Each structure stands twice: as structure tokens, then as C-alpha cells.
Structure 1
Amino acid sequence: MRPALSHIPVPMPTSWQQLPWGEWLLQQVAAGLDPWWPKLFGYHMVKLGPLATSLNASLSPIRHQLVISADAGDAYAELEALPIRCRTVDACVLPLVLDFHQDPHQVLREADRILVEGGHMVIVSYNPLSPLALGLASPTHRSKPPWNGRLFTPNRVKDWLGLLGYQVVGEEPLAFSSFLWSPDKFVWPQQMLHQYLPASGSVYMLVARKLAAPLTPAKPLWRPRKRLVVAPAALGRGAAKQHRQTKNG
């Protein structure tokens, strides 16, 4: 398993058009997000990365929405050091951010830092255990997005979220294409994968809810052992007699 931290810069696409069949992929991501927008409540939503500028979240009841990226959006900042106060954001959306960042752990920690308890984190990412892996076999494609990205499996990202104290409330595959050719080709295999192997989606979405910490610490299940007092009857006759004399004495 490759480490999450990379010392080599990973070029992040600045638009969906820089990805293979990016316009089609944007439509699939938008269709997957639309049922979830009305379920995200609160006052503030932050969408991270340059690709977030094309995501329409008008169906969400959250009115104040902000896009933060290093070179695009409403505010310019590094994703691993967000200029936002702790626990002030109700929803955080990361479209294809973990795939193209050197330190995805730090990005998740920053998103967790600004989220309120009960807030939601939405992650869209590529899945290496999918038809997308066909492109990894070609040296030509390995140097191009998305194959030059990090490509973390859904289970690995869910493990990271679990360590941060999140409960995954939604997981959906969004595409089953290899992105080596038009998604309109080989439709039947994609439908079979969607029906029988949904975990093999080339692009997946995770919706996780930040759990609230308990207000009172949990009591320990163990108790200290009490000192064992030996009854006089368990002692020898001489010791028992001496015990009585000491007690009366």
C-alpha cells in the first residue's frame, strides 16, 4: 500500500475539461450529488478545489456557499491550511481533491477542523480497483490525469474518516467507465458492473457525518480489587486464639 503523503507534487486539474470525458463525468457527479443537496442543512458550505466551481448546489438549503482553491474560486488559499475558524462550517465538499494532493490526510484534517459537530463531508474520488485500472497498464496514460493521481480505494478513505470520528451515511458509485474511450461504448459491461459489482465504480461518492463527542466521560468498566481479609476461622488454632486476644485486649 502506497503512503498517503507524497513528496512529489501532483498536478491538480483546474477544470473538468482537463480530465478524460470531463464534461460527461461532471454530469454524472452532478446527478449523484443532486439527491444529497437537500439533506445538507446549516448556514455555511465550503467547496474545496478548482473543480468545485462547476458544481451547482442550488438545491441545498444552505444559502452561504464558498469555493476555496489555490488558484480559483471565491477565496484563494492552500487546502491544507484553510483560513476559516474551527467548527464554523456545516458542510464541506471535496470533488476529486484527495486524488491530486500531496497530503490528503492534512486536507481531511483541515476539513474536519472547520466542520461543526453533526456537519457533513462529501468526497468524490477515483477508484483504482475499477475499470480505471486499465489505463495504469499503459505508460502513455500513467502520465496523464486521472491515472497520474493518487487513486485511493473507498475502503481506505472510509478508514481515514472513521479515525477522525465520522460515520459514513452514504456511498454511491457514479461511473463505471475506464475513461480510455467514450463512455457510450461498452454500455452493457458497465450496466453489469453497476448491478452486480457496485463497489467497482470508477468514480465513487462518500457522504460522512461528523459525530458529536460525548459531554461526560464514559465510566471505566473495571474496578479496583478490594483487599482480601482472611477470616480467623481460616487461620490455625494458635493464630485464631492470638487474634481474639488482640481484639479483646
Structure 2
Amino acid sequence: MEQPLILELAEWLSTPAGQYVQGWEQKQIDAMVSNVFGYHAIQIGLPQWDLLRANRIPYKGRTRVLFDTAAHADAAVVADPENLPFDTQSIDLLVLPHILETSAKPHQILREAERVLMPEGRVVISGFNPWSLWGASDRIPGLDPLLPVPAHLQVSLPRLKDWFKLLSFELDRGRFGCYAPPCNSQAWLDRWSFMDAAGDRWWPVCGAVYVVSAVKRVAGMTLVGPKWKTAKKRVQRQAVVTGRHSDLGL
């Protein structure tokens, strides 16, 4: 029986290339989740990798997927990413590390994320960039496939943005990273380390991986302020009509 992609990915993360990617993603996700508040934060998949360590939400959990039979003490919940075992609008922060591209139904996973998140809740997603040399390594003649996820399953950032628009997510921030040429040698990754600083400046969309953060927006929701605040009385002023609108930027 063929091993599920998520398990191949978990094994790949222990390789030099995987450690390179893991180190960069950890840094970005730490920054994105550190100031997210609420009561419940959940990481879906790869429970051996703690991507909630920088968050201060009181209840944090890491789940393992249904077919991951490995024992993970910190992953008490077994979850199908396409049918999450959480109540609607019950989660404040959801982290999805490479889960969309290891599923046959990535859009359904994103729908589930929208369902379980509270209004103004946040989802953080990481993925491989299919337009990078790493992402396309299985399509380039003479180059051995480097990633455990084939290019046709990788979810590009423009595609993910389209899904956000179809649902109720608003992209908050994101970054591409890991600009070293595709290789699985620690010595060569170290030699190419200068490419990370150069890549951010000169070719940001060519990074091997990306991390994005999006907020669930609910149409018509109004934030209510303290009751002791009273609205200031409006002062009616006579309108002045002119023939030009340059002062309004029109």
C-alpha cells in the first residue's frame, strides 16, 4: 500500500532540505501566531512539529490525521482534515502546515477551517510553491524530484487567494522563503545561504515555500463599544458645491 503523502512529508522533514524548510517556516509562523488571542488554538497534522509554541492561547492542541498510526503524546485528537471534529465557530486559531497539498480535497479542508473558526479567527497555512525550482523539480529534465509532494498537487498562492475570496477569509500577511537552489546536501545548503537575503529582495515569488495568514470576516458584524461611550453630537454645516473634485482625489 502506498504511503500517504503526509507521512512521506513527515519523514522528508528530517532530511537536510526538510530541516532547511522547517527552520524557515517555524520562524515565520512563530511571528504570525504570537499575538493571536482567544481560548482555543489547533494545529492540524504533523503533531511532532510544534507550530503553536509562540502562542499564548490557554488551550492548544495538535492533531494527527486518521491514517497516521505513529504515537504522538501531544496529539490526543485524531482528526480528518476534511471533516474536523470541532464545533462550528469554536476555534480562534488554526494552523495548517502543508495539509492542503497532501489531500485530494484541499478546498474542502479550507471550508472546514472556515466553519470551525470564530468570527475574526485566524488561519495560518504553509505550502510548497509550484512555481519555484523546488516545486517544479519533478517536471525539470535531469533534476531529481526533491519534494515529497508532486507539483500538480501543490497549491499556488494565487489559487489559494481565489479560494479565500470565495469563502470569508481576508489575507492578512504572507511571505515566500527558502531561495537556495534545490539540493539535499547540508554543505551546499550552507554555501547557498546568502541566497535567502537576496531572494527576498530580487525574486520573492521564487521561494520554495510560502506561509500566509488570513482572518475570517463575517459580513454585517458590528463591534460594539462600551456602553458609557456616547456619540458626539453632529454639527450640521452648509455644503459647498464646486466644479472640481481634485481635493477629494477623484
Q: TM-score range by the shorter chain?
A: 0.7 to 0.9
Residue 68 in 1 paired to residue 63 in 2? yes
| AA in 2 matched with 1:54 | W
Indicate the SS of the match to 1:135.
coil
Equivalent of 1:199 in 205, 218, 229 = 205
The match for 1:169 is: 172
1:119 & 1:142 partners in 2: Cα distance? 37
Q: Sort the Cα spacing of 1:144 and 1:38 in 2 relative to 1 into closer, same or farther, 3 A.
A: closer
**Structure 1 residues 39-54: aligned runs within 5 Å:** 39-49=35-45, 51-54=46-49
- Which of residues 144, 149, 159 in structure 2 aligns to 1:146? 149
Consecutive unaligned residues of structure 1, counting only runs of 5 or more, are 1-7, 217-249
* Aligned partner (choices 87, 96, 99) of residue 97 of structure 1: 99
Partner of 1:221: none
Alignment check: 8 A CA contact 1:173 1:198 kept: yes
How many correspondences in the alignment? 208
Q: Which residue of 2 aligns with 1:59?
A: 54
TM-score under structure 2 length normalisation: 0.74
1:223: which partner in 2? none
Task: Determine if contact 1:69/1:79 at 8 Å carries over to the other structure.
Answer: no
The whole-number CA distance in structure 2 between the counterparts of 1:150 and 1:15 is: 13
Q: Is the 8 A contact 1:37 1:60 kept in 2?
A: yes
Distance 1:133 1:168 in 2: 23
State the partner residue of 1:219. none
Q: What is the CA-CA distance between 1:30 and the residue it aligns to?
A: 0.9
In structure 2, distance between residues paired with 1:165 and 1:159: 11
1:18 corresponds to 2:12:
yes
Q: TM-score, normalised by structure 1?
A: 0.74
User: Which position in structure 2 is the counterpart of 1:29?
Assistant: 25
C-alpha separation between the residues in 2 aligned to 1:115 and 1:91?
Answer: 7
Instruction: Specify the SS of the correspondent of 1:132.
Output: coil
Give the equivalent residue in structure 2 for 1:122. Answer: 124
1:68, CA displacement in angstroms?
1.9
Change (3 A) 1:104 1:134: closer
Deviation at 1:159, TM superposition (A): 1.0
Larger of the two Rg values belongs to structure:
1
**Percent identical:** 25
CA-based RMSD of the aligned residues comes to 2.6
Question: Which of the residues 198, 208, 213 maps onto 2:214?
Answer: 208
SS at match of 2:60: strand
Note the C-alpha offset of 1:146. 3.1
In 2, are the aligned partners of 1:10 and 1:101 still within 8 Å (CA)?
A: no
Q: Quick one: distance in 2 between partners of 1:184 and 1:147?
A: 25
